[in-house]
Structure 1
């Protein structure tokens, strides 16, 4: 088997989520959630609310198979929360809600992008394993709602770990953010699956996707079926989004999906997207001519976009696809992105 074929085979092997074993999870206090009432709690939020404020040790919430509908918020004063799905694969435990940015709020107004999130994580040192987060807002059923950003997970905390987790949605599926532009928040995702269409991985957090599958849904266009990323990395942060040994797949027509566009929230000129895709497999749905594109008046060439040794039908190098040298690549590793001043190393 050649080097390229071996890489494809290796990446595909580690990104198969069906049958992924449930990780043992961290040791500490433990409660169980079951929708049928056979455990400590019937909802995820009730279990999170049971975590002591200022908790300093792992608090494991085991979740029995089922669909758990309703918004979940892990507040900043509830660190060290660990969600562990007890099914035989991530599809057996689903945490889901169905609101969009433009969905009316009960008290008036609309939810907005952040408020649309099915799950919001503000507590540091959070982890999730062997489960699914989803936002199943039905765009076709609500033509009256034009603001269709529908977040499955919003993160704003530091030192987060997701392993064997699925993130399902359409526009803005996974919002990786931080409390403010001056604060760096780190997220590590290993053997995960993320799907969506428009800007479905976005925000200013520093996040590493390690051996993940990133799947673009078909919007039915013959020219533009969306954008995988929309990073808004702060200018003083050298590390935004890193995809390493991932597989980019899609249902969309060949050449109709962009790898990313630079998001400048509130037209912030200091939000300079940083995204690197390295040693990954890019499917035919990726636009090979110009995979990075402008976001309104903000040009992609001013962002910090790069690739390194990618393969697949969507990975043909050209002058409009910035590539790292071997020397530059050695400075853009998982450790470089995540270690920080506290030398954080996620358990993997």
Structure 2
């Protein structure tokens, strides 16, 4: 099963957050991940090996894991044969009649194995009929699940191994190793010129370290080179809250759209969709406003017809001035096609209310992406 990385939201991704996202995808430890089939982490398979007859002068007994068990010719143990008898509840295993020659003694050895695709397909059919699983799993829930599992007539021959606190701790230890390897791999990519990074002021850096940012586009290219699939953490959270786990392929296509907003892109952004995202037909989402804006007109007509905008955090004029270092007139001139300073890539403002005099705002992520694009395009 391909590893799927949940990319942090935004056109720029902080270096360490990106490494942690990959490590979490390779070695999941979040309780949110362990639901349903993911709570079954291994399968316990029991092997039966022929047991040689003990010598007459042999003393002692073998270890418990190598104790002999009595099997029928059909390969079933006594505890599996008993339920077939109508009077089983009145009998013990020792009372079950087995004629000489119709049974054999073997060594029973149980060993854990990883689940393969056939095992997962079988579980997907069986689990809806069993008690639901969700980590952490109490002792009572484990007992109920196991009782229901062993009561199934057409269950697999192996026994499911459920996730435990000890298992999660082992995964956390493994995750630390994966994290270090990803940091090392990204450092090599950066030194080899296959990756560029910016600091908190959107200026290219010469050393990749905590606090540096990688464009979403380059992060996705890195994941594809490493053989990982990806999806936006924002889409995962929204899909799981509404409909449960979303389809990976659909999420990947939408994420590819988001990647086009990275700092290397210079394409014109539509006023109705400043982030360049693919619409989902749901209309405007609830948005958060920051900063303040002085009243004025200028290029406010550029914000018309934005009822379908999909925006994240909204920046008012003062915030846009802080992010870009531009004055009010320079900002509006870059949106005004009649101005000699017009810039088709500059994010367009949009109205926050009805009426001609309503307040306007910008998508903060789109503004940051524009600033990052200027930094990357700057001659070195």
Fold conserved (TM > 0.5)? no
Structure holding more strand per residue: 1
* Higher radius of gyration, 1 or 2: 2
Structure possessing the higher relative contact order (Cα contacts under 8 Å, 6 or more residues apart): 2
* TM bucket, shorter chain: under 0.3
Query: What TM-score results when the alignment is normalised by the length of structure 2?
Result: 0.21
Give the TM-score normalised by structure 1: 0.23
